[in-house]
Amino acid sequence: MNSSDHPRAQLSAYLDGALGEPERVAVEGHLGSCADCRLRLGELRATASLIRSLPDPVPSRRLVPRVAAPPAWLAPLRTLTTLASGVSVFLFLATALLANVGGLASSAGTAAAPAASAAPAAPAVGGTGNAPAPTQRSAFGPVGATSPTALSAADAAKQATAAASANAEFATSSGAPADAVAARSDTARQARALRETPAWQSPWLWLALAIVTAVIALGLQRRLRKVN
Protein backbone atom coordinates (compact mmCIF):
# COMPACT_ATOMS: atom_id res chain seq x y z
CA MET A 1 0.00 0.00 0.00
CA ASN A 2 1.32 3.43 -0.94
CA SER A 3 1.80 5.84 1.95
CA SER A 4 -0.04 8.55 0.00
CA ASP A 5 -3.19 6.48 0.44
CA HIS A 6 -2.92 6.95 4.19
CA PRO A 7 -3.71 10.31 5.78
CA ARG A 8 -0.55 10.05 7.87
CA ALA A 9 0.27 13.76 7.61
CA GLN A 10 -3.11 14.51 9.15
CA LEU A 11 -2.73 12.22 12.16
CA SER A 12 -1.22 14.79 14.54
CA ALA A 13 -3.78 17.43 13.65
CA TYR A 14 -6.50 14.82 13.99
CA LEU A 15 -5.17 13.92 17.42
CA ASP A 16 -5.19 17.59 18.41
CA GLY A 17 -8.69 18.18 17.10
CA ALA A 18 -7.29 20.72 14.66
CA LEU A 19 -8.81 19.38 11.46
CA GLY A 20 -11.76 20.87 9.65
CA GLU A 21 -14.92 18.82 9.67
CA PRO A 22 -14.57 17.15 6.19
CA GLU A 23 -10.92 16.20 6.84
CA ARG A 24 -11.75 14.86 10.28
CA VAL A 25 -14.52 12.68 8.88
CA ALA A 26 -12.20 11.39 6.14
CA VAL A 27 -9.44 10.49 8.60
CA GLU A 28 -11.90 8.83 10.93
CA GLY A 29 -13.29 6.77 8.06
CA HIS A 30 -9.81 5.64 7.11
CA LEU A 31 -8.82 4.78 10.67
CA GLY A 32 -11.80 2.49 10.94
CA SER A 33 -10.37 0.27 8.24
CA CYS A 34 -6.57 0.73 8.62
CA ALA A 35 -4.81 -0.94 11.54
CA ASP A 36 -1.46 0.56 10.51
CA CYS A 37 -2.75 4.13 10.80
CA ARG A 38 -4.46 3.29 14.08
CA LEU A 39 -1.14 2.01 15.41
CA ARG A 40 0.68 5.14 14.28
CA LEU A 41 -2.01 7.36 15.78
CA GLY A 42 -1.63 5.48 19.06
CA GLU A 43 2.12 6.02 18.98
CA LEU A 44 1.69 9.74 18.34
CA ARG A 45 -0.79 9.99 21.19
CA ALA A 46 1.62 8.19 23.51
CA THR A 47 4.49 10.41 22.35
CA ALA A 48 2.49 13.55 23.09
CA SER A 49 1.57 12.19 26.49
CA LEU A 50 5.21 11.38 27.30
CA ILE A 51 6.27 14.89 26.30
CA ARG A 52 3.53 16.31 28.50
CA SER A 53 4.69 14.27 31.48
CA LEU A 54 8.32 15.39 31.34
CA PRO A 55 9.39 16.69 34.75
CA ASP A 56 9.56 20.47 35.03
CA PRO A 57 13.02 21.97 35.23
CA VAL A 58 13.22 24.55 38.01
CA PRO A 59 15.13 27.84 37.71
CA SER A 60 17.95 28.41 40.17
CA ARG A 61 16.99 32.02 40.75
CA ARG A 62 14.07 34.38 40.76
CA LEU A 63 13.29 35.37 37.17
CA VAL A 64 10.62 38.02 37.66
CA PRO A 65 12.37 41.40 37.60
CA ARG A 66 11.35 44.04 40.11
CA VAL A 67 9.54 46.61 38.07
CA ALA A 68 7.26 48.07 40.72
CA ALA A 69 8.26 51.55 41.88
CA PRO A 70 9.65 51.39 45.40
CA PRO A 71 7.52 52.88 48.19
CA ALA A 72 8.06 56.62 48.64
CA TRP A 73 9.63 56.19 52.07
CA LEU A 74 12.39 53.92 50.81
CA ALA A 75 14.80 56.62 49.60
CA PRO A 76 14.61 58.80 52.75
CA LEU A 77 14.97 55.66 54.87
CA ARG A 78 18.11 54.75 52.95
CA THR A 79 19.55 58.22 53.60
CA LEU A 80 18.58 58.02 57.25
CA THR A 81 20.16 54.62 57.82
CA THR A 82 23.31 55.72 55.99
CA LEU A 83 23.60 58.74 58.26
CA ALA A 84 22.84 56.63 61.33
CA SER A 85 25.59 54.25 60.32
CA GLY A 86 28.06 57.12 59.98
CA VAL A 87 27.10 58.57 63.35
CA SER A 88 27.42 55.14 64.95
CA VAL A 89 30.90 54.70 63.55
CA PHE A 90 31.86 58.09 64.98
CA LEU A 91 30.38 57.22 68.37
CA PHE A 92 32.11 53.86 68.30
CA LEU A 93 35.48 55.54 67.76
CA ALA A 94 34.71 58.19 70.38
CA THR A 95 33.62 55.73 73.05
CA ALA A 96 36.51 53.41 72.24
CA LEU A 97 38.90 56.31 72.67
CA LEU A 98 37.22 57.39 75.91
CA ALA A 99 37.30 53.89 77.23
CA ASN A 100 41.05 53.76 76.65
CA VAL A 101 41.68 57.12 78.28
CA GLY A 102 39.26 56.22 81.03
CA GLY A 103 41.03 52.92 81.47
CA LEU A 104 44.32 54.70 82.08
CA ALA A 105 42.62 57.10 84.47
CA SER A 106 41.00 54.33 86.43
CA SER A 107 44.22 52.36 86.75
CA ALA A 108 45.79 55.55 88.11
CA GLY A 109 42.77 55.85 90.36
CA THR A 110 43.23 52.39 91.80
CA ALA A 111 46.76 53.31 92.74
CA ALA A 112 45.48 56.35 94.63
CA ALA A 113 42.53 54.53 96.07
CA PRO A 114 44.07 52.98 99.19
CA ALA A 115 44.82 56.46 100.49
CA ALA A 116 41.29 57.64 99.84
CA SER A 117 39.83 54.56 101.42
CA ALA A 118 41.56 55.46 104.59
CA ALA A 119 39.48 58.64 104.82
CA PRO A 120 36.51 57.11 106.66
CA ALA A 121 38.97 55.96 109.23
CA ALA A 122 40.16 59.48 109.86
CA PRO A 123 37.21 60.59 112.06
CA ALA A 124 37.78 57.52 114.09
CA VAL A 125 41.40 58.53 114.42
CA GLY A 126 40.30 62.04 115.37
CA GLY A 127 37.64 60.68 117.69
CA THR A 128 40.16 58.75 119.66
CA GLY A 129 42.06 61.93 120.40
CA ASN A 130 44.64 61.82 117.60
CA ALA A 131 46.00 58.58 118.81
CA PRO A 132 49.47 58.39 117.32
CA ALA A 133 49.41 54.63 116.90
CA PRO A 134 46.40 53.58 114.84
CA THR A 135 45.70 49.92 114.85
CA GLN A 136 44.81 47.91 111.82
CA ARG A 137 41.26 47.73 113.12
CA SER A 138 40.87 51.50 113.34
CA ALA A 139 42.23 51.98 109.85
CA PHE A 140 40.11 49.50 107.93
CA GLY A 141 37.33 48.43 110.27
CA PRO A 142 33.73 49.75 110.29
CA VAL A 143 34.36 52.39 112.81
CA GLY A 144 33.42 55.59 110.92
CA ALA A 145 29.75 55.32 111.89
CA THR A 146 30.44 55.32 115.60
CA SER A 147 32.76 58.33 115.68
CA PRO A 148 31.17 61.75 116.19
CA THR A 149 33.61 64.38 114.99
CA ALA A 150 33.79 68.15 114.43
CA LEU A 151 36.83 68.03 112.22
CA SER A 152 36.63 69.86 108.92
CA ALA A 153 36.89 67.84 105.72
CA ALA A 154 40.35 69.24 105.07
CA ASP A 155 41.52 68.22 108.48
CA ALA A 156 39.95 64.85 107.97
CA ALA A 157 41.78 64.44 104.70
CA LYS A 158 45.04 65.51 106.24
CA GLN A 159 44.58 63.15 109.10
CA ALA A 160 43.50 60.42 106.76
CA THR A 161 46.70 60.82 104.83
CA ALA A 162 48.63 60.74 108.04
CA ALA A 163 46.69 57.75 109.21
CA ALA A 164 47.19 56.05 105.89
CA SER A 165 50.92 56.58 105.93
CA ALA A 166 51.03 55.49 109.50
CA ASN A 167 48.96 52.52 108.60
CA ALA A 168 51.22 51.83 105.63
CA GLU A 169 54.14 51.76 107.97
CA PHE A 170 52.22 49.56 110.30
CA ALA A 171 51.19 47.31 107.45
CA THR A 172 54.70 46.93 106.13
CA SER A 173 55.87 46.14 109.57
CA SER A 174 52.98 43.80 110.31
CA GLY A 175 53.34 41.93 106.98
CA ALA A 176 51.06 40.35 104.40
CA PRO A 177 47.46 40.45 105.84
CA ALA A 178 47.02 44.18 105.19
CA ASP A 179 48.29 43.81 101.62
CA ALA A 180 45.79 41.07 100.97
CA VAL A 181 42.93 43.16 102.26
CA ALA A 182 44.00 46.09 100.06
CA ALA A 183 44.22 43.87 97.00
CA ARG A 184 40.73 42.45 97.60
CA SER A 185 39.12 45.84 97.90
CA ASP A 186 40.92 46.94 94.71
CA THR A 187 39.42 44.11 92.69
CA ALA A 188 35.98 44.80 94.06
CA ARG A 189 36.27 48.45 93.13
CA GLN A 190 37.29 47.67 89.57
CA ALA A 191 34.37 45.29 89.17
CA ARG A 192 32.03 47.93 90.51
CA ALA A 193 33.46 50.51 88.07
CA LEU A 194 32.84 48.14 85.14
CA ARG A 195 29.30 47.44 86.25
CA GLU A 196 28.51 51.07 86.63
CA THR A 197 29.61 52.11 83.08
CA PRO A 198 26.37 53.22 81.32
CA ALA A 199 25.44 51.15 78.26
CA TRP A 200 25.69 54.11 75.91
CA GLN A 201 29.36 54.45 76.71
CA SER A 202 30.09 50.94 75.42
CA PRO A 203 31.93 51.05 72.07
CA TRP A 204 30.53 47.62 71.19
CA LEU A 205 27.01 48.96 71.29
CA TRP A 206 27.91 51.60 68.70
CA LEU A 207 29.88 49.16 66.59
CA ALA A 208 26.90 46.78 66.47
CA LEU A 209 24.58 49.66 65.66
CA ALA A 210 26.92 50.86 62.90
CA ILE A 211 26.99 47.40 61.32
CA VAL A 212 23.24 46.90 61.53
CA THR A 213 22.40 50.29 60.04
CA ALA A 214 25.03 49.87 57.34
CA VAL A 215 23.55 46.51 56.33
CA ILE A 216 20.06 48.01 56.19
CA ALA A 217 21.31 50.98 54.17
CA LEU A 218 23.06 48.69 51.68
CA GLY A 219 19.96 46.52 51.34
CA LEU A 220 17.78 49.55 50.69
CA GLN A 221 20.31 50.88 48.20
CA ARG A 222 20.23 47.59 46.26
CA ARG A 223 16.46 47.59 46.28
CA LEU A 224 16.41 51.16 44.97
CA ARG A 225 18.98 50.52 42.28
CA LYS A 226 17.27 47.39 40.90
CA VAL A 227 14.29 49.40 39.79
CA ASN A 228 16.23 51.78 37.62
Q: Which residues bind another protein (CB under 8 A)?
A: 3, 8-9, 11-13, 16, 18, 36, 39-40, 42-44, 46-61, 63-69
Return the SS3 of 54: coil
- Residue 197 Ramachandran class (φ > 0 left, ψ -120 to 50 alpha, else beta): beta
| Angle, CA of 110, 172 and 181, to the nearest 5° | 45
Min separation Cβ 206 and another protein, Å = 38
**Which strand (E) or helix (H) includes residue 31?**
helix 21-33
**Mutual angle of helices 153-174 and 176-196, in 10-degree steps:** 130
| Shortest Å distance, C-beta 3 to another protein | 8
Whichever of 68 and 150 has its CB closer to another protein, that residue is: 68
Q: What is the DSSP string of 160-227?
A: HHHHHHHHHHHHHHH-HHHHHHHHHHHHHHHHHHHHHS-GGG-HHHHHHHHHHHHHHHHHHHHHHHHH
d(CA 12, CA 43): 10
Name the residue nearer to another protein (CB basis): 46 or 191: 46
- Whichever of 16 and 179 has its CB closer to another protein, that residue is 16
**44 or 193: whose CB is closer to another protein?**
44
User: Least Å distance between CB 63 and another protein?
Assistant: 5
Nearer of residues 39 and 183 to another protein, judged by Cβ: 39
- In whole angstroms, the minimum distance from the beta carbon of 31 to another protein comes to 14
Least distance between another protein and beta carbon 67 (Å): 4
